[in-house]
């Protein structure tokens, strides 16, 4: 459900490159996420009594690079943190600003807005979002992992089930899509803020229950609403046969 990743697939040169891209993506994700877990495990064994709070523990990569590498090499290694941050931040900022200016400003608030007005609104929203991000970053006690995991839960539960059902279940309807997105997005906030603090079995990551509820909503509202048109089902079968070929 991450839009900056989906855009890469939408902009791919041809459908023939999908399989190769899938393999590269899975291999890279396995290596990068596995390395992140190993860094955490090794760092904890190297600094058992340090970095005991959630916010300071996120600096373990910097501490390890400073200890294990000479200054020049440590600087090169740590620049990867900044590179990863910039590559993700610019995508999120552009997507959020464009989505607001196109879908809300021009689509709802001012339908007769010109391209220049939409561009001006995009730049304004971009600046506002950047300032909000800076304000959040100024909090020394904030935990980046908590913020990112909450954002990913929202993306995953809101758009993930809908994408899967749209690709593999031809009975998915517009009503089911809207219900699934609303249910998944709202459930993330409710579970995170109201249910998860109870603890126990309710202390699980909010993405899981929200994802399940979104799937249920898609199925229910797709079945009780109007059925997809014959043209839509025909297009679904055509795409399905092409993907198998």
Give the pLDDT score at 72: 92
**Residue 187 in 3-state DSSP?**
helix
The radius of gyration of the chain from alpha carbons, rounded to an integer in Å, stands at: 22
Closest CA to 192 of 179, 178, 202, 180: 202
For every residue of 12-49, DSSP letters joined together read: -S-GGGHHHHHHHHHHHHHHHHHHHHHHHHHHHHHSTT
What whole-number distance in Å separates Cα of residue 58 and Cα of residue 48?
14
What whole-number distance in Å separates Cα of residue 114 and Cα of residue 106?
9
Q: Could you report the average pLDDT of every consecutive run of 10 residues in the chain (245 residues)?
A: 68 81 86 90 86 80 88 89 81 82 82 85 90 82 79 88 88 91 94 90 92 96 85 78 65
Burial 33-44 (b: 16+ CB within 10 A, else e): eeeeeeeeeebe
Give the pLDDT score at 205: 92
Both tokens of residue 63?
Answer: 């501490």
| Cα 35 to chain centroid, rounded | 20
Give the pLDDT score at 1: 52
Give the pLDDT score at 97: 87
């Amino acid at each position: 459900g991450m839009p900056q990743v989906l855009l890469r697939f939408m902009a791919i040169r041809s459908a023939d490159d999908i399989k190769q891209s899938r393999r590269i993506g899975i291999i890279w994700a396995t290596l990068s996420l596995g390395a992140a877990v190993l860094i955490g495990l090794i760092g904890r064994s190297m600094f058992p009594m340090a970095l005991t709070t959630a916010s300071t523990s996120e600096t373990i990569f910097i501490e390890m690079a400073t200890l294990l590498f000479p200054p020049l090499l440590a600087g090169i290694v740590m620049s990867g943190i900044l590179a990863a941050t910039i590559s993700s931040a610019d995508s999120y900022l552009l997507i959020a600003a464009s989505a607001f200016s196109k879908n809300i400003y021009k689509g709802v608030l001012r339908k007769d807005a010109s391209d220049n007005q939409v561009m001006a609104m995009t730049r304004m929203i971009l600046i506002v979002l950047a300032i909000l991000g800076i304000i959040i970053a100024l909090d020394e006690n904030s935990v980046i992992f908590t913020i990112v995991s909450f954002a990913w839960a929202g993306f995953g539960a809101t758009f993930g089930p809908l994408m899967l059902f749209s690709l593999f279940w031809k009975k998915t309807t517009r009503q089911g899509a809207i219900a699934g997105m609303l249910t998944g997005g709202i459930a993330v906030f409710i579970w995170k803020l109201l249910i998860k603090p109870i603890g126990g079995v309710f202390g699980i990551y909010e993405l899981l229950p929200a994802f399940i509820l979104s799937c249920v909503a898609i199925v229910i509202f797709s079945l009780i609403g109007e059925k997809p048109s014959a043209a839509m089902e025909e297009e679904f079968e055509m795409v399905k046969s092409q993907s198998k070929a």
